[in-house]
C-alpha cells in the first residue's frame, strides 16, 4: 500500500514540475513588452535576431561581397577569387569558387600541375601560382612533407552546373607587394589584391 501511494505522489509531483516548466517556457516566449517590436518596423532585418544576446543581425547571405576577380575559361568554366589574405606564418591563402558550365563533369585534370610530385594530388588546384609582375617572381603552391599540396582536391570532380569552393596557400610575397596575378591551368590570369589578413 505504501509503495502505491508513493508512486502516485511521485507521478503527481512530476506532472506539476512538467506543467510549471511548460508555463515558464510559454511565458518566456510571449515577449509582450519588447519595445523594438512595438515600433512596428516592417524591415525584415528588424525581425532577425542572433542566438546570443538578442542583437539584431542581417540574414546571412552567401557571397554578399563581389569577388576580387572572375575569369572564364574554355567551355564555360568560371573561376572566381573571393579572398587573398596574408597570414602571420609567412604565407598567403587564396580562396574562391569554380563553377562548371561545361556540359559535363569537370575533373580539374589540367589544374593539378605538370610536376611529377604534383600529379599525385589528383584533380586539384595544385598547379596554381601567384605571379608578382613588379618583382618578376612566380610563387608556386605550398606542399607538405609528403608532396601533397596545401590546396583543395576536387575529389570526384565537379558536376555540370555545380559550384565548388577551393583554397590554395602560397609563400607570401614581400610586404610591399599587394597586387599579383592568380594563374591556374589554361584559365586567364586573375589580377587580385592581397589583404593584410586578421
pTM of the shown model: 0.65
Provide the grid cell at 72.
572564364
- For cell 604565407, the residue is 91
Provide the grid cell at 76.
564555360
Please choose, from the candidates 74, 164, 82, 179, the residue with its C-alpha nearest in 3D space to the C-alpha of residue 125: 164
The whole-number pLDDT of residue 198 equals 54
- How does pLDDT run across 96-105, given as a tens digit for each residue? 999 999 989 9
The whole-number pLDDT of residue 114 equals 76
More confident residue, 15 or 147: 147
CA–CA dist 32, 87 (Å, integer): 48
The whole-number pLDDT of residue 147 equals 82
Is the predicted pLDDT of residue 61 greater than 90, yes or no?
A: no
**Mean pLDDT, range 117-145, rounded to an integer:** 88
Report the relative pairing of strands 129-132 and 179-183 from DSSP bridges: antiparallel
Q: Rounded to the nearest 5 degrees, what angle is found at the Cα of 32, between the Cα atoms of 25 and 21?
A: 10
Question: Which 8-state DSSP code applies to residue 58?
Answer: P
Q: How confident is the model at residue 196 (pLDDT cuts 50, 70, 90)?
A: confident
Torsion over CA of 61, 62, 65 and 71, rounded to 10 degrees? -150
CA–CA dist 141, 144 (Å, integer): 10
Q: How confident is the model at residue 145 (pLDDT cuts 50, 70, 90)?
A: confident
At residue 127, the 3 state secondary structure works out as coil
**Mean pLDDT, range 150-161, rounded to an integer:** 91
Contact predicate 85/166, CB 8 Å: no
Provide the grid cell at 121.
594530388
Task: Calculate the average pLDDT of the chain.
Answer: 75
Q: Which CATH number is associated with domain 69-193?
A: 2.60.40.1240
Is the predicted pLDDT of residue 163 greater than 70, yes or no?
A: yes
Amino acid at each position: 500500500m505504501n509503495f502505491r501511494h508513493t508512486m502516485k505522489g511521485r507521478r503527481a509531483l512530476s506532472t506539476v514540475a512538467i506543467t510549471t516548466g511548460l508555463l515558464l517556457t510559454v511565458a518566456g516566449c510571449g515577449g509582450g513588452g519588447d519595445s523594438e517590436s512595438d515600433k512596428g518596423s516592417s524591415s525584415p532585418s528588424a525581425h532577425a535576431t542572433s542566438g546570443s544576446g538578442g542583437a539584431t543581425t542581417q540574414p546571412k547571405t552567401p557571397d554578399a561581397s563581389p569577388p576580387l576577380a572572375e575569369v572564364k575559361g574554355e567551355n564555360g568554366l568560371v573561376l572566381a577569387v573571393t579572398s587573398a589574405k596574408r597570414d602571420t606564418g609567412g604565407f598567403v591563402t587564396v580562396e574562391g569558387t569554380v563553377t562548371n558550365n561545361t556540359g559535363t563533369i569537370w575533373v580539374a585534370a589540367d589544374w593539378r600541375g605538370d610536376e611529377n610530385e604534383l600529379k599525385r594530388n589528383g584533380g586539384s588546384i595544385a598547379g596554381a601560382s601567384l605571379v608578382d609582375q613588379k618583382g618578376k617572381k612566380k610563387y608556386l603552391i605550398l606542399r607538405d612533407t609528403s608532396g601533397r599540396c596545401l590546396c583543395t582536391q576536387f575529389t570526384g570532380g565537379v558536376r555540370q552546373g555545380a559550384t565548388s569552393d577551393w583554397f590554395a596557400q602560397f609563400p607570401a610575397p614581400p610586404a610591399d607587394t599587394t597586387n599579383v596575378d592568380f594563374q591556374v591551368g589554361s584559365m586567364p590570369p586573375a589580377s587580385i589584391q592581397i589583404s593584410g589578413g586578421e
